[in-house]
Structures are given as C-alpha cells and as structure tokens.
Amino acid sequence: MAIQAAEISAILKDQIKNFGQEAEVAEVGRVLSVGDGIARVYGLDNVQAGEMVEFPGGIQGMALNLENDNVGVVIFGSDRDIKEGDTVKRTNSIVDVPAGDELLGRVVDGLGNPLDGKGPINASKRLVADVKAPGIIPRKSVHEPMATGLKAVDAMIPIGRGQRELIIGDRQTGKTAVALDAILNQKSYNDAAGDDESKKLYCIYVAVGQKRSTVAQLVKRLEESGAIDYSIVVAATASEPAPMQFLAPYAATAMAEHFRDNGRHALIVYDDLSKQAVSYRQMSLLLRRPPGREAYPGDVFYLHSRLLERSAKLGDDYGNGSLTALPIIETQGGDVSAFIPTNVISITDGQIFLETELFYQGIRPAVNTGLSVSRVGSSAQTKAMSSVAGPVKLSLAQYREMAAFAQFGSDLDASTQQLLNRGARLTELMKQPQYSPLTNAEIVCVIFAGTNGYLDKVDVKDVGRWETGLLSHLRSKNADLLADISDNDRKVKGELADKIKAALDDYAKTFA
C-alpha cells in the first residue's frame, strides 16, 4: 500500500508536537520522498515560493510547490545522494546568481558556477534570477540598430537594440549560425568603440538542452575569434537535470540585466526555448501540476513571457541601456502553429523563419523572406540602410510569386522577364557564408548594386564571385566611401548615391 505524503506529514507533525519542536519546523524540513529530481519535504513552514533550500552535502534546490502538508522542491543537481529523512534548510533568499563584468569571457552553469576550468569567479554582486520585467514608464521605443552582419537580416528583417526577434525553424537549418554570426559581428564594432560603453554590445549565449560537444564547439569559435572577451556562455546541457535547464535562461537574463541597468547594451541568445519548455513540462508533471495542451502546464506561456519581457530599451532617466533578445525555437516539420511556437511568436517583436527546403537549395542563411518580419522595422536601421533596403523585400516577394507562375509558360512579357531576372540575382546576392559578417556600409553598397541593376547583366552563377570582388574593391579603393556611409548616418541619395554609383561603375570595368 502506498502511503500518501499527507499521511506521513500528519504522523510526523504529531510526533514533533510531542517533543515540542514546532518552532524549528518553520525553518527546516525533512525529506518525505525523493525521485526524478523532485523532493517532497515536510516542514519548511515559512519557506517562500522560489526560495533556495539546501540539502545535506550542499546540494541546492528551489521550493516550487507550497502545499498544505508538504513542499515540492526541485533539485539543482543529482538527487542520488539525497535520502528520505534528510534535513532540508531554508536559505532565506530567492534563487540568485553571480553577476558583473567578472563573468565576461567565462562559461558557467545555470547557477553561475564556472564550467571552463579557469578558476573561481569573484563576482561583484548577486542578482535574483527571476525578477519582474521593467514596466512601461522606464521604457523607450527601439531606435538603435543591432547589426547582425547578415545581409538578409540587416536589410530585410532589421533588429534594434531592445527588440526581441525570434529565430524559428526545423532542426539543422542554421538557427544557431544566425545568432552566432550576430555575436561575432560585434567584434569589430566593440573594438572600434574602445572605452565608450554606450556603444559596445555585450553578448550572453544560453545553451539549453544541447549536446556538450555542440556547446564546446561554439565556445571554441568564440575564443578563436576573440568574441569571448565580451561574452558570457551559460550552459545547461542535455545531461543536466530539468531544473537546471529551466533555470539557465532566467539566470542568464539576470547576468544580462547587469549591463542593461547600468546604461550599457547587451544581447542575449536563448538556444533554445523549446527545450526549456520541455524541461518545465517535465518538472510540472513530476510536481503533479495538471497538464494542459500538449501536456504542457497551463502557465507555460507565462514561463516565456516573463522571461522575454525583461528585454527592453530603457529611457533617458534610466540610463539608456538595452537588452536585445534572440530566442530560438525548434519546430517539427516546419509546423509554426504548434503550441510553443505560436506562444513565442506572439510574445516577440517578429521572427526570422528558416526553412529546410531553402537550406538544401543552397540558399543560406535559409531565411524565408515572406514569413519573416520585424515589427520594429526601419527605425532599427541606419538611415543609409533603410533608404536602400526598401525595394529588396518587395522585389523578392514579387519574384517568388512570379516564379511559381513562370514555371508553366514560356511566353513572358518583358517586364515579367525583368522581374524574374532581378529576383534571381537578388536571391543569389542574399546568400552569405557562415562566420563572415559584413559591415553596415558594405551591406548598403551590395544591396544598392542589386536594386539598381548593376547585377542584371551578370550571370546568376557569377553573382557570388562578383560580390566578393566588389567587397575587396571597395575595401581597398573606397575606404573613404565606406566610412562616409557608416559615419554620417545619412540617407543614400544625391551626392552619396552618386559616389556609390561611381565606385560601382569603376568596379564594373574591372569585373570580367
């Protein structure tokens, strides 16, 4: 016969009463049962929801379910060393993690413990992992660009500092690659910013439920490129228990808020939130919370909304800091209408939709330009970029529509033919290899060339070669022009447009 936790509680309470130890029960408890990373604890009468508790041997846990007769505790670590009857102590603090500049360049777990073997971290402060997001008053509208260095993203789906842009797609479609390129792209900007903290962008990458080898490769890439100096990696890999995977995104956000709240800028990548939702579902089911749609608990929307709301652009009175979020969601068979994808789509300010089919056609990054949007739009672009990028999305949309029709007939009028030609070249132009982000000015020139017909006479298969040539031509011969475009933050028209045209004509003569 199985004995209910409630019955055991009642018996224990009775016995303790006889010994007159009731006061102590408020601060300590005893493990009634333990398993699957969850402990049921008797006592801890004064414990708060979300409070950190300690098991013997220093194993930590978080009180989540406060019930009449017992407390449900999730365990951050292995539950193997915890036995029935062990004492559990309150710590009187809500789960918090180390934060501060000391974490830059480090790889830590969801509780802020170092994983990289570079010694202990003497963090200057601790911040509560799960805090309330800034309200409406401190915020300001998003208006500064967060350049990813990817042509397809910066031109068509611009991301601003303080924005939340979802990266969504099936497995192996280059989701991590987009986020990683965005991190690597900050290197040149951060180097150029020097000591100007108001320009720099710090990056926090959170790995949830991934293979350790994948995370190790990413860290290696960050180290090789020097990007690790302005980054923090928080890893809760697949081998970690569910509570750690649940906590890691919150902990990492607290580390990022250190920058946001001190008038600095940070970018946080959650890779990926589907796995966090799965770990939360596991925890909730084990805590016997009622399952809802797809067996997720009813508050799974709140799990992601309270996390992503913490990304914000703060106003003048609050230091002008920002936290930009790039959450990642993995879909199954391209189904964006499943529960978790629709939730996160509705929370974010837009999505970058990556498609398997495009990926295998060689269109990489495999951005579906029709389904991808940024609800912040051109206010997140520099003036130069927004003045040249407008026609691209339209041309590509028209091209997709026409291309479907054109398959059926060969009798096409001149204007349709022209549209197809332009579209094919622009599609080709949007391709970009990994780890080769371009500067804002370079993207402006490339897009300008594409939309002003400089490529119309170039063979589709030569577009890549043409672009590489153009970039090295611009870098070696037109450094002033590039500086002009990026420095002055002015529109591409009149004199500036003429200068770009002159440079492109100059290059056209040399290309064969």
Write out the residues near Mg ion by the rule CB under 5 A. Answer: 176
**Nearer Cβ to ligand ATP (44/430):** 430
Instruction: Report the distance separating Cα 183 and Cα 203, nearest Å.
Output: 6
**Nearer Cβ to ligand ATP (205/259):** 205
449 contacts 470 by C-beta, under 8 angstroms = yes
Site residues for ligand ATP per CB under 6 A: 169, 171-177, 330, 364-365, 432-434
The answer to whether the annotation marks 172 as part of a ligand binding site is yes
Instruction: Report the distance separating Cα 55 and Cα 30, nearest Å.
Output: 10
| CB 71, min distance to Mg ion, A | 36
| CB 365, min distance to Mg ion, A | 13
Q: Which does 434 bind (CB under 5 to 8 A by kind): ligand ATP, Mg ion, none?
A: ligand ATP
| CB 100, min distance to ligand ATP, A | 30
What's 58's DSSP letter? Answer: G
The answer to whether the annotation marks 417 as part of a ligand binding site is no
Q: Which does 33 bind (CB under 5 to 8 A by kind): Mg ion, ligand ATP, none?
A: none
Instruction: Report the distance separating Cα 149 and Cα 65, nearest Å.
Output: 45
Q: Which does 291 bind (CB under 5 to 8 A by kind): ligand ATP, Mg ion, none?
A: none
The answer to whether the annotation marks 348 as part of a ligand binding site is no
> What does the DSSP assignment read for 306-354?
HHHTT--BB-GGGTT-EEEEEEEEE-STT-TTSHHHHHHHHHSSEEEEE
The answer to whether the annotation marks 174 as part of a ligand binding site is yes
174 contacts 366 by C-beta, under 8 angstroms = yes
Residue 297: both structure tokens together: 């608990």
| CB 217, min distance to Mg ion, A | 11
The answer to whether the annotation marks 200 as part of a ligand binding site is no
Radius of gyration of the chain (CA): 27
Give the burial class of 153: count Cβ atoms within 10 A of its Cβ; 0-12 exposed, 13-18 middle, 19 or more buried: buried
| CB 237, min distance to Mg ion, A | 13
Sheet with 231-236, edge to edge strand ranges: 107-108, 231-236, 201-208, 265-271, 322-330, 166-169, 350-354, 373-374
The answer to whether the annotation marks 169 as part of a ligand binding site is yes
Residue 26: both structure tokens together: 């408020």
Q: Which does 423 bind (CB under 5 to 8 A by kind): ligand ATP, Mg ion, none?
A: none
273 contacts 209 by C-beta, under 8 angstroms = no
Instruction: Report the distance separating Cα 490 and Cα 484, nearest Å.
Output: 9
Q: Which does 70 bind (CB under 5 to 8 A by kind): ligand ATP, Mg ion, none?
A: none
Catalytic residue among 375, 400, 465, 490: 375
**Nearer Cβ to ligand ATP (368/432):** 432
**Nearer Cβ to ligand ATP (123/277):** 277
**Nearer Cβ to ligand ATP (173/440):** 173
The answer to whether 80 is a known catalytic residue is no
The answer to whether the annotation marks 263 as part of a ligand binding site is no
Query: Which residues define the annotated binding site?
Result: 169-176
Query: Which residues define the annotated binding site for ATP?
Result: 169-176
The residues annotated as belonging to the active site are 375
